[in-house]
């Protein structure tokens, strides 16, 4: 039987991906705690990097301010990554939650994103690893950490937050 906390968190994770697909950036940002860490490690041989401060990352933001700056640039459409944003469809599955002693919760999930831009389809997939903290927002939770393990890291296009 799934408990109420797992149901809340599952809804949040699915809602987060929907907000990205619909480019509802302000609502998406509101799910992030001010000190959120958003990290996509790179791969070194057959292992993902372990420390974003000393090893290569595909993407790393250590606060919501970094994500807000990225969203600002996406809205301007003045970078190669944001010119004609692709249509995206996120799939999130196999969500599992583990309560932590401090009241936070760890959530893991598998994901896949299909995107369409300039007549080409791209697919990325991998695993999400979240740390969620209680919040007084409508969902009851905020994302404090989001680690995105990109399994197919041969990237045929630009890589940005909307593709993960």
CATH number of 135's domain: 3.10.450.50
pLDDT number for residue 158 = 80
Q: Give the model's pLDDT for residue 2.
A: 64
- Split into its structural domains, the chain has a count of 1
Predicted structure pTM score: 0.93
How far is CA 32 from each of CA 2, 10, 16, 118, 131, rounded to the nearest angstrom? 25, 16, 10, 31, 11
Tens-digit pLDDT profile for the chain (164 aa)?
468 889 999 999 999 999 999 999 999 999 999 999 999 999 998 999 999 999 999 999 999 999 999 999 888 876 665 678 899 999 999 999 999 999 999 999 999 999 998 899 999 999 999 999 999 887 889 999 999 999 997 888 788 999 99
Predicted local distance difference test score (pLDDT) of residue 80: 65
Range of the domain at 80: 4-163
> What is the model's pLDDT at position 88?
97
Alpha-carbon distances of 141 from 27, 48, 71, 116, 132, rounded to whole Å: 13, 28, 21, 31, 6
Q: Residue 141: what pLDDT?
A: 95
């Amino acid at each position: 039987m799934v408990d109420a906390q797992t149901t809340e968190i599952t809804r949040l994770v699915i809602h987060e991906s929907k907000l990205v697909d619909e480019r509802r950036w302000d609502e998406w940002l509101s799910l992030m705690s001010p000190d959120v860490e958003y990290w996509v490690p790179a791969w070194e041989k057959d292992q993902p990097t372990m420390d974003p401060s000393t090893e290569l990352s595909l993407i790393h933001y250590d606060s919501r301010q970094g994500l807000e700056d990225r969203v600002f640039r996406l809205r301007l459409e003045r970078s190669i990554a944001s010119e004609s944003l692709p249509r995206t469809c996120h799939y999130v599955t196999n969500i599992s939650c583990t309560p932590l002693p401090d009241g936070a919760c760890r959530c893991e999930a598998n994901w896949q994103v299909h995107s369409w831009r300039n007549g080409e389809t791209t697919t990325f997939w991998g695993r999400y690893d979240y740390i969620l903290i209680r919040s007084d927002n409508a969902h009851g939770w905020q994302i404090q950490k989001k680690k995105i393990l990109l399994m197919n890291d041969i990237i045929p296009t630009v890589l940005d937050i909307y593709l993960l």
